Structures are given as C-alpha cells and as structure tokens.
Amino acid sequence: MSAARWGDVASYALFALLAAFFLLPFAWLGSLAIRTPAEVYLGAARFVPEAPTLDNFGAVLSDRAFLTYLWNGLKLSACGGALALALAIPAAYACSRIPFRGQGAVLVGLLAVQMISPLVILVPLYRWMSTLDLLNLDLSVIAVYGAIGMPLAVWLLKVTFDAIPVELEEAAQIDGASRWMILGRIVLPLARSGLASAFVLTMVMNWSQFLVPFILLERDQDWPISVAIFNFAGSVSASTTQLLAAACLIAVLPAVLVFVALQRMIVTALISGAVKG
Amino acid sequence: MTAARALRERPPGQGQPWPWLLPAVAVLALFYAIPVLDVVRLAFSDATLIAPATGLSLDAMRAILGDPALRKVLATTAIFVAVNVVALQLAGLSIALLIVRGERRGLKGMAAFRTLVLAAWVVPGIANGLIWGLLFDEAPYGTLNSLLGYAGLGPVAWLSDPRMALVSAVIANLWQGTAFSMIVFYAARRGIPPVLYEVAELDAAGPWRTFRSITLPLMRRAIAVNSVLVSVQTLNTFDSILALTGGGPGRATEVLALFTFNTVFYNLDLAGGAVLALLLFAAGMTLTLLIGWIGRDRGAS
C-alpha cells in the first residue's frame, strides 16, 4: 500500500475518534430522551432502550408553558435578527460603497465591541431599563439582541456588498435612481444569500442567548426556551432525567436543524468574512 | 443632461456616509459606549442593585479587590482560558487540515463530519452545560462512568472533584468551541496557493516538512488572530459553566464572568460587580488591541 493510502487509513482512524467525541453528547441525549425512568438507571448497558418511548416528548410538549417558551424563543430571536440586519444594512452599504475618512475606525470599532461581554453592558442597561420601566418587555430584549448582532451583520454584509459589481449601480445612477432606490432595488436583491446568512447566524446566536432574557425578563411566561430549560434543570431529580433530556433536545434541535440545512451558505459567508477580516 | 448632472453631483463612490452610518453609530453609543462609561462610574460608587449610588467612593473597589475569592477566581480564569486556547486551536487546526487533506484525496464523509462539528457549535451554552452534566453524571448509570466501567476503569469524580471539575468544564467547552477555530483555519488553509504544495511534492518534501515549511508559516497570522478571538470568547464564556457546575464545587470552576454575574445578580453588589465588569472589559480590550497590532504587522511585511 502506498504512503498516501496509509495516510487515508490514519485519517479515517482520527475522524472516527473525533466523530465519536462530537457525536456522543447528541447520541446520549437522544438515547435518554426515549427511555423510561427504569431504563435511565441502566446507563450505557442498553443504549437503545428495549421499549423506546416518545412519552417524554409528549410530557414536555403537553405543558402549555413549554410551547410558550418555544414561541418566545422564536419570536425574540427572529425579531432580534431582523433588527440587527435593519441596523446593519445602511452601515454596511456605506462602508462598501462610500469612501470616507474614519471608515477603518468604524469597522475596527464594530469588531472591538464584539469583544465586549454582554455581561458588561447589561449591568448599567438593567438599571436604566429598571428606572425607565422597560423591564419585562419583549422590545427591550429585541433591542439588546439587535445591538449585539449588528456588528457581525455589518461585517458579513460589507463583504457581500463588496462582491456585487458596482457597474450595475452606476447604470441605475445614470438613469436617475437615488441611492436608497439603488440599495432597495438592485443591491439587496443581489445580496440575498448574504442577507439570509447574516439573519440566520444572528438568529441562532439569539436563540442561544441566556443572559439577556434571564436578566431583563422576570416573568416566567415571557421566558424564551434557553432560560426555561435552565430553570427546569433546577427542578429535576434523578427520576426525571429523561424529561430533562427530552426538553434539552427540543431546545437544541431547532437551531441545529436550521443551521445544518443552511450550513453550506452560512459557512461560505463566514469563510469569505474570515478571509477579508 | 439631467442624468449627466446627477452623475457629476453624485459620482459613484461619492456622497455623505453619515446618514447611512447613523443607526449603527447610535447603537454603538447607546448600547456600548455609554454603558461602559456608566460601568466606570459605578465602579467608583457604592451602588447596589436596589439602591442608587450616594456618592463617589472607593470602598466597593477596595472590598472586591481585597476579596480573597477574587484571587482564586482570577487564577481559575487564567487556567481555563489558557488551556482552552491551546486545546481549541490544536483541535480546530487538526480537524481543518484533516478535512482539507480528505477533500483533496476524495475521501467520503468530509461534509458530514464538518456538519457534526458545526452542529455542536450552535447548541445553546445553557444546553451545552446541561447535556454535559448528564454525561458527567457520577451515579453508576452516568454515561461516561458506565462506559468506563466496561473498560474496568473509573468511576471518575467528574464534577465533585475540584480539579476534575475544571477539566470537565474544559471538555464541554472544547466540544462546543472547536468549530469556530476549524472554520477560521479551514479558510486560511484554503487560501494558501496550491502551487506551493506542488513544488514541495516535486522536491520530495515529506508531510511533516511540508507542514513546517509551508502550512505553518503561511497560517501564522490566522493562528495569531484566532488565538486572540478564542481567548476573548473563552474569557466571556459563563452560561455553560453556570449550567454544568454552577461554579462549584466550592469556587473550583468559578471564572471571572461567572463571578461578575453572581456578584451583581445574586449578591446585588452593583458597585463591586462594576469593578469586576471593568476587569473583564479591560482584559477583553487588551486582547483586542493585540489583534490590531498583529493586523498592522501584516502591512509592514
């Protein structure tokens, strides 16, 4: 066998090892979620339960509150992603098309604020919102999501806009179109996949967000799923492990499925952003 | 004629950028710049979460900086960040290079493998902590301990032993965080002109020699930038640790971000928390300035 073939064998051996590590948590979660309480105590002895049951999912989803948490999570992350995009589009367009002094500073500033932990800014934001009576409002959470997601969106969209030939816009300009019209009619339609990538990425980030809703939303019925499972985990015991597993799986699955379905597009956007950045 | 004038007044690539930048700049000011200034102000006050500041004071700063717990927290944070930065990048780099090699050799399953690593990346931090909590369960039926039992090993005190708990927190973070480094390194490796590798092959350079002479030097900048990004991300991580160990046992896994969170939102010590937040901010910004410095290096060479 040639050296390259031996290399392939070694590669596959390494892949198998790594895949086992990355797969184990998902597989175990799935296994626990379809067990009866008695089978939870069998540990790894019976990875696929003798009588797989969907009762755990039924039990979790029949709780009306749980559906509310899922809906809250979806609502907050989608609106937050949309807001981040709305804030980012004009800035990304200016950074891509209008040369101006301080452009580098704006882009570096956007990169720098991404390094600030939401924890740092939430300390004062919580106080202001508390004073202004803005706690427990979806809008407050959405506004913070917009602010947290905007910098990444500007970077991704700038790279997308840079890739669109400027000649198309020049032609429209000669026809007397304003910049806003050009943006809306020509640039944005051509930037569809970049816009979609930025939206999905910010939305997935928001779905994972725990700190912001945990601090700004005090009422249980307003919580998104990420806060709800944390709270739920505090109330489970050994005999309800299978329910926690089912709840975790339900919380994780939407983000993973959306991301996996769209990963080719998103990874391409991230890679071109990484190369430019 | 009007069209020509329009073109002269607003030639492509000209115009006022500020109306376009206004929303983004306003958000930067309102949600980042002013809050950070407010954190500085609070750090020099005696405010609690329920009572406003009564005046300037250094008491809170003295109290929190003199807190013996802080020293322990900072040591834990340094270990957690340092180990993660090395481990995440080694894992990310190995996987990226393996995938690139696999793609070149036409091996099957590369896309599926990449998808699996990315799937772990989008798991919410809280869920990450809860899932690994199930895996590290120390009861006889816990995943890892029952698996180790088959090999005649263990049981391991994954979460109840202070040292092991930190190792467990690193493992959970590695599972979730590797994907980021993988993407960055994959992009950087794909950016290296293939012709360099063809030349190396003509020179009969072995894989290790090729890696040391071509891959590593040309990826040095990506590795440098990524080290900083990963350090800051790890520094700011706390929700997965909160769900996995809650910072325990004792303070064994309480990193600076979690300590800040607990100080403000459990102890309601706003002034003390602001001091910690400032530390967190300063550490993050120092690391970020490093990126700028590395980036400038590129222009020079």
Number of domains in chain A: 1
Answer yes or no: is B24 within a domain.
no
CB B236 within 8 A of CB A117: yes
Rounded mean pLDDT, B60-81: 87
Question: A261 lies in a domain?
Answer: yes
Q: Are A178 and A116 in contact (CB under 8 A)?
A: no
Work out the average pLDDT over B258-286. Answer: 87
Q: Which residues of A touch B291 (CB under 8 A)?
A: 111
CB contact under 8 Å between A120 and B36, yes or no, is: yes
Does some domain include residue A145? yes
Q: What is the mean pLDDT of residues A82-111?
A: 88
pLDDT per residue as tens digits for the range A158-205 = 988 988 888 888 888 888 888 888 888 888 988 888 899 899 989 988
Task: Reply yes or no on whether the pLDDT at A275 is more than 70.
Answer: no
- What's the CATH code of the domain at B156? 1.10.3720.10
For the range B25-34, what are the long-range contacts, defined as Cβ-Cβ under 8 Å and sequence gap of 24 or more? B25/A91, B25/A106, B27/A87, B27/A146, B27/A147, B27/A150, B28/A109, B28/A110, B28/A113, B30/A147, B31/A121, B31/A125, B31/A143, B31/A144, B31/A147, B31/A148, B32/A113, B32/A116, B32/A121, B32/A147, B34/A124
Quick one: closest CA in A to B191, which residue? A275
Predicted local distance difference test score (pLDDT) of residue B297:
54
Contact A206, A145 (CB under 8 A): yes
Over residues B68-97, the mean pLDDT reads: 92
- Please report whether residue B222 resides in a domain: yes
Per-residue pLDDT averaged across B127-146, rounded? 85
Average pLDDT over residues B94-105: 91
**Residue indicated by tokens 């597993």:** A245
Q: What percent of chain B has pLDDT over 90?
A: 28
Question: Does residue B233 sit within a domain?
Answer: yes
Contact A121 B36 (CB under 8 A): yes
pLDDT at B106 over 60: yes
DSSP 3-state percent helix, strand, coil across chain B (nearest 5): 75, 0, 25
Q: Would you say residue B138 lies in a domain?
A: yes
Position B250 pLDDT exceeds 90:
no
The predicted-structure confidence for B26-43, as pLDDT tens digits, reads as follows 988 899 889 889 888 888
Any CB–CB contact under 8 A between A19 and chain B? yes
The answer to whether residue B172 scores a pLDDT higher than 90 is yes
Domain assignment present for A174: yes
Write out pLDDT tens, residues B173-214: 999 999 999 999 998 898 889 899 888 888 888 888 889 889
A260 Cβ under 8 Å from any chain B Cβ: yes
Residue B23 lies in a domain: no
- Measuring CA to CA, which residue among B46, B84, B102 is closest to residue B240? B84
Higher local confidence (pLDDT), A14 or B63:
A14
Evaluate whether residue A87 is within a structural domain: yes
In the predicted model, is pLDDT for residue B1 greater than 50? no
The answer to whether A221 faces chain B, any CB pair under 8 Å, is: no
What is the number of structural domains in chain B? 1
pLDDT in tens, A222-240: 999 999 999 888 877 767 8
The verdict on residue A2 lying in a domain is no
CB-based contact A173 B7, cutoff 8 Å = yes
CB contact under 8 A, A229 and B126: yes
Residue B6 is assigned to a structural domain of this protein: no
Residue A57, in any domain of the structure: no
CA A97 to chain B, closest CA, distance in angstroms equals 5
Query: Burial of B124 by CB count in 10 Å (0-12 exposed, 13-18 middle, 19+ buried)?
Result: buried
Q: For an interface test with A, give the residue of B25, B32, B138 to mutate (most A CBs within 10 A).
A: B32
Q: Chain A residue with minimal CA distance to B21? A: A91
Residues of the domain holding A218: 62-276
In a domain, A17, yes or no: no
Mind listing the pLDDT tens digit for each residue in A99-124? 888 888 888 888 888 888 888 888 88
Any domain includes B19: no
What whole-number distance in Å separates Cα of residue B140 and Cα of residue B130? 18
Complex prediction ipTM? 0.88
Residues 229-258 of A with CB under 8 A from B: 229-230, 233, 238, 241, 244-245, 248, 251-252, 255-256
Range of the domain at B239: 33-296
Q: From the CA of B44, how many Å to the nearest CA of chain A?
A: 14
CATH number at residue A166: 1.10.3720.10
Q: Is residue A21 part of a domain?
A: no
Q: What is the pLDDT of residue B64?
A: 81
- At B230, which amino acid appears? V
Which ranges of A1-117 does DSSP label H, i.e. alpha helix?
3-33, 37-40, 55-61, 64-97, 103-113
Identify the pLDDT of residue B295. 61
